[in-house]
Chains A and B, each alone.
Chain A
Amino acid sequence: ALTVGSIVVPYGHVIGNEKWRGSEIAQRLQGKVRLAFEDGLGLVDFLLSNRTCILLISEADLVAGDEFKRRLVKFRNASSLRGIVIVEKTLISDQYYLGVQKLVVLELGMVLLPVANQGEASQLIVQLVSFCVREQGRERGANPFVRRQRAGLAEPAALRSVQHIPGVGKAKALLLLRRFGSIHGLCNTPVSELEQVVGQTAAQQIYTF
């Protein structure tokens, strides 16, 4: 049997499970993404990249019982791929949604996204693919929700922190930091040395704090 791990997804392609050939979702994807079919995908419905795949749960799956749960657990135990579960949340299947969410997101730690029908599912897959392409293309900065490492200056923050010491305002905070360097330095200064900078009362307050 062909394992999913051995299939290489070409850049910007989606590989669909053979069983979806000719379906509404496949028809809607064609033209928007480069779609190929493969019959060795096993539990996976669509492969978006070498590490991301989609499992679809239809309204009928939800109503039919627990079979889909076994499929998800089996996938989770066997695969190292990041699985995104797309579930058809309709008026009929709505009552099952909370249970499915608890299983998929909280217990299995996978991603779950609800859609109303196959049309919405295809539209969502197109967007997911576009993000997979960006991820592979090292355009990580393009994602507005990925944190960019900013080396924020510590000086203003340190100044604000020191001002939380009773009796210390901006001017004293500046004097203290200039003289003792850091919060660590300030903490390890004997009261006699503090007195030389801020006077007896404030020095005592800082020391006891």
Chain B
Amino acid sequence: IPVPGPSLAGNSRVPGEQSPSLCILADSREISSGLEVISCLRAVHGLRVQVCSLGSSDYIVSNRLGVDRLLQSELQSPGNRNKLSQRLQRLQGIFERICVIVETDRVRSGEISRLSQRTQYYDGVLSALVQAGIKILFSSCQEETAALLKDLALLEHRKDAAIQVPTEPEGHRQHILNFYLSIPNLSYGAALNLCHSFGSITAVANSSVPALAAGAQLSRPQAEELHRFLRHDFDLQLLPQPLPAKGK
């Protein structure tokens, strides 16, 4: 008799009752830079936070929404521009929607909070984010950031985009997950969905675009990209560096 997994708990939709399985994936780097965010999400808001090596965004709050937590000082320094733009462009390739939470830097005790002049550069960065269609939220501390992440997760849950699958595959499934994670522009959430919805990699490879979109909870263009990748005809000539002929 199949035992219902923890994922099924999320399907009950009692109005006004917070789903016990509301789940957020956090990147392992956040353990060092945003520990308070993670503990608040768990302790204050009662969310399930799965820490894993996301690589792409700082948080994943639903099947389609990736969130980056940025310090205000990062947006204020022109030296950071290239890094930031590369990171956000990459995120746009992976997620249907992206959001940045701009968090006020912590003022060290003893340091007098000086009224820093708002720069034209900072306004330019905000304008560029707005124009790129990136959602921006402002937070004054890690506790507030956690509350915003919870709000986002709740909103996505209401829109039926919440992460509903087990987030810790074991044994053989872990290897399969790693295989899916190596596919370009596929989010951690989509890889988990593939693991859960399809019996094998062969089943994924033989699926149509609509079946991939439904199984992995991807948008149509993303499902098309995945479909193309799986059926891409390998051309040795197109490898970046020709491999040295191995004459053993």
Contacts and interface: CB of A to CB of B under 8 A. Distances in A.
How many residues of A sit at the interface, in one of the four size bands?
35 or more
A144 B128 contact: yes
B205 interface: yes
Interface in A165-182: 165-166, 171, 174, 177-178, 181-182
20 contacts: A84-B130, A98-B147, A101-B138, A113-B130, A114-B138, A128-B123, A131-B127, A134-B131, A145-B85, A145-B134, A147-B92, A155-B236, A159-B239, A161-B182, A164-B178, A171-B246, A183-B201, A183-B205, A183-B232, A184-B206
B129 A174 contact: no
A100 to B, nearest CB: 10
A155 B239 contact: yes
Contact of A120 (B85, B118, B155, B230): B118
A146 B131 contact: yes
Interface of A: 84, 97-98, 101-102, 105-106, 111-116, 120, 123-124, 126-128, 130-132, 134-135, 143-148, 152-161, 163-166, 171, 174, 177-178, 181-184, 187-188, 209
A162 B233 CA distance: 13
Contacts of B120: 123, 127
B236 A178 contact: yes
A131 B128 contact: yes
Nearest to A140: B131
From B81, B126, B127, B176, residue with most partner A Cβ within 10 Å? B127
Task: Sort A-B residue pairs by CB-CB distance and give the 6 closest, nearest first.
Answer: A144-B85, A145-B132, A127-B123, A177-B234, A147-B92, A187-B202
B110 interface: no
Chain A interface mostly: helix
Interface residues of B, number: 54
A182 B234 contact: yes
Contacts of A144: 81-82, 84-85, 128
Contact of B229 (A120, A158, A164, A209): A158
B131 A156 contact: no
B230 A183 contact: yes
Given A158-B234, A184-B231, A143 B182 contact: no
B144 to A, nearest CB: 7
A188 B151 contact: no
A35 B152 CA distance: 37
Nearest to B229: A154
A127 B183 contact: no
Q: Which of A115, A123, A155 has the most CB of B within 10 A?
A: A155
Contact of B205 (A113, A135, A143, A184): A184
